[in-house]
Structure formats: C-alpha cells, structure tokens
Amino acid sequence: MGAAIPMELLSPAGGPEQLREAIHFGANAVYLAGRRWGMRAGSRNFSDEELARAVSYAHARGVAVHVTVNTVMTDADTDALPAFFSLLADVGADAVIVADLGAIALARTYAPQVAVHVSTQASVMSAAAAEAYARLGARRVVLAREMTLAQIAEMQRRVTGELELEAFAHGSMCMAYSGRCLLSAGLMGQRRSASHGACAQPCRWAWSLVEEKSGAVLPVEQGASASYLLSSNDLCMIGHLDELREAGVDAIKLEGRSKGAYYAAAVTNAYRHVLDGEDAGPWRQELDLVSHRPYSTGFYLGEPRQNPGRVDYRRERCLVGVVEQVSAGATGENGACVAAVRCRNRAEAGDALEALSPGRSPRSFGLDAPLVTNGELYQLELPFAVEPLDLLCART
C-alpha cells in the first residue's frame, strides 16, 4: 500500500441506479442532471422528485451532489432557471455546474447557498479566466480538457484565494474544444445539438472522401478500412493520479453519465482503490474489462495519441446480477451467504462469475443455478459474504 492521494472522487450518475452504485463503490461526490440543461439529454437523468430523493440518499451516506446546468442557454432556458435553482436550494444540492454567464448570475441569486462550479464547457485554461469566474462567485473550475499537467501546475501557482481545480481523469473524450461541437447540429439539425446535450456523436462514424463527378469513395487512410480520424481515444489517468494532485488538482471527474450502473460501479471502484493508496497496475487491468475505446492520457502528458483506425467499444465483462438483499443469519462460519440477486443478463449453472464489492479485489466463484430471466429475483448461495448493491459479473 502506498500513501493515499487526497483528491475528491467525482463519479457519474446518469440515473438513480448509477447513483446508488457510484456511492456504494466509494465516490466522494456524484454529478447528475435534471430533465433539462444537462449535457447528456439522452441519459435517464432525474425528475424534480428524484433529485430530492437523490440528494437525501447521498447526504445520508456522506456524499455530495453536483447538478449539471451546463448547456448553451437561450432566453427560454434562462426564463425557467430561477425555479430550478430554487428547487436545488430547497433540496440541498451541494453545487451547480454551469457555463453560461447568465446562469451563473441566476444561480447566485436564486440558490446563493449552492456552490457554483464552472463547467469544462467554458474552456478555462488560464489563471486570469479562473479568477474572473471566482469574482463572479465560482468556488471551483472544471478545467478545459486540452490542458497539460504543466499548464495546470502553472495555473494553480497563479490563482489566489480558495478556488478549487477539477479535472477529468477517465472516460470518453470529444474531438471538439472542451466538447463545444457543431458537427452533430450541422448534420442533423438543432434537435441533435451537442451544445444542448443531444449529440449524435458523428465523430464516431466512419468517414471517407468522395470524388464528386464519379462518386468514387476514396479512403482517407491507406488501406481498405474507413477512417475514424475524428474519433477520440478514451481518457485513462489511473496511473497518473499522483501527478494530477502534484499539479494542483483538487478533484478528479469520471466521465460516463450515458453509461450503465456496472460502468459507474467498476470505474469508481478502480479509482477509489488507487486514491486510497493501492498500486494502479491491477486496477488498470480492471478498467480494460469495462466498455471503452482505446485508452490514452489525453493532453495531460503532451499531444494526445489517436488511433484513426476502427475504434469500436471493447468490453470483456458484463453485468449478470445485482445483490438486493442478504438473508439475515445466512452468513456461515466460512463466510458463505444466501443472497437475493436481481438478474440483469443470462448466466448458466457452472459459469464462472466474479463478485464486485467495495474495498476488495473481485472474487471468483462458480454459479450453482442458472439466472435466465431478466428482472427476476433469484436466491443464490455464494461462497463468501456480499452486501446489497454488490455486483455479479461474467467475462464476455
């Protein structure tokens, strides 16, 4: 065990299930969105009533809730913001993540006790910009994703006061500057605007050149495959957390509000262990098992290395079931227990599964009885103790 790294771990919660798993696996804070103004409009997200329940649930477990209100704002958007900010103040949200200057002003007026965090959509890359936002009431800046570690260290040296710095450490990256892309809206109309959270991700499509007269398709890359030169590699900084902290980063953010509960759990779990002082090597291997594109260190260590070849998602482990309850008194002397498990994907008797539990490495076991019906609750005898919200997974 090495020394713990004192940075806040901020995990994605695209819906209530992801929120519960992120908290269970060690997030210090979660970030989520209501039904509007979030940059992941396609996620499950939270109704007003669910926001209140989410904050109460998180606070009961010592976890902060940051609410994203970071789309590009129109007058229609800002007209509705006072009521939403008042709601966030009433339910006790800890912070709002905003980019629009009008939204910042409204947040300070209608939710003065809620901290303002400046979104990465604002592309803050200088101490001058960071301090300008601080004078408007911001407590934290989510740094532009294009910054190097050296640039972050220089900003941290220059900023004054108590302004906090937050940086992305893991997840999908956008080829546009801090995600401010016009490609989706340009190709598909404003209903699929990235700036309003509805990006169709055309940068992930295969692209080629077409000769106008003949219609001949000319590959951009040499060879027979199409080019994915607009598609960014995923970010993975689990092996460089000490360097992020030394540069002055106070909080690391895990991207993934469009991902499922297994992703939120597994990625949070890996980063929690390394932040708590464990070696990054085994947990980097764990991250290879979740759905991802090829990993890189983004801009942090210099110019990013990209792979313009085909970059489909890789996934080597899938979720089989979620532990909902452990029978009272069912834990035996050898640690065995009986668990009620909600089936999420089919598994057969004899399959090798792995249990993901907070605070320990994955544990393997053989499944004695099949799990065949999605959504059905099964009683399973397990050779070790588990807790509600632990996950049972299978290699794909």
Q: Please report the pLDDT score of residue 307 as a whole number.
A: 59
The strand ranges marked E within 197-309 are 209-210, 217-218, 234-236, 251-254, 295-296
Q: Are 145 and 299 in contact (CB under 8 A)?
A: yes
HSE-up of residue 133 (Cα within 13 Å, Cβ side):
33
Give the Cα separation of 281 and 287 in Å (integer). 10
Nearest to 299 by CA among 246, 361, 220, 244: 244
Q: 184 by DSSP, 3-state: which? A: helix
Which distant-in-sequence residues (6+ apart) come within 8 Å of 96 by Cβ? 66, 67, 68, 69, 85, 88, 107, 111, 114, 115, 116, 117
Give the Cα separation of 272 and 266 in Å (integer). 10
Question: For the chain, what's the residue count?
Answer: 396
Residue 102: what are its φ and ψ, rounded to 5°?
-65, -40
Give the Cα separation of 65 and 283 in Å (integer). 26
Token duo for residue 293 = 């594109």
C-alpha dihedral (67, 73, 77, 81), degrees to nearest 10? 40
Q: Are 10 and 252 in contact (CB under 8 A)?
A: yes
Residues forming beta bridges with residue 166, ordered by sequence position: 142, 251
Q: Please report the pLDDT score of residue 222 as a whole number.
A: 44
The segments of the chain whose pLDDT lies below 50 read 222-223
Q: Tokens 């302004």 identify what position?
A: 163
Q: Tokens 């035996």 identify what position?
A: 332
Give the Cα separation of 345 and 375 in Å (integer). 9
Orientation angle between helical segments 75-91 and 48-60, nearest 10 degrees: 40
Residue 306: what are its φ and ψ, rounded to 5°?
-115, 160
Q: Are strands 363-366 and 209-210 parallel, antiparallel or unpaired?
A: unpaired
Could you tell me the domains of the chain? 8-173+232-296 (3.20.20.70), 178-218 (no CATH), 317-395 (2.40.30.10)
Single-letter code of the amino acid located at 11: S
Q: Please report the pLDDT score of residue 315 as a whole number.
A: 82
Token duo for residue 288 = 């290879």
Report how far Cα 167 is from the mean position of its chain's Cα atoms. Answer: 12
Q: Please report the pLDDT score of residue 391 as a whole number.
A: 98
Q: 128 by DSSP, 3-state: which? A: helix
Q: Please report the pLDDT score of residue 71 as a whole number.
A: 87
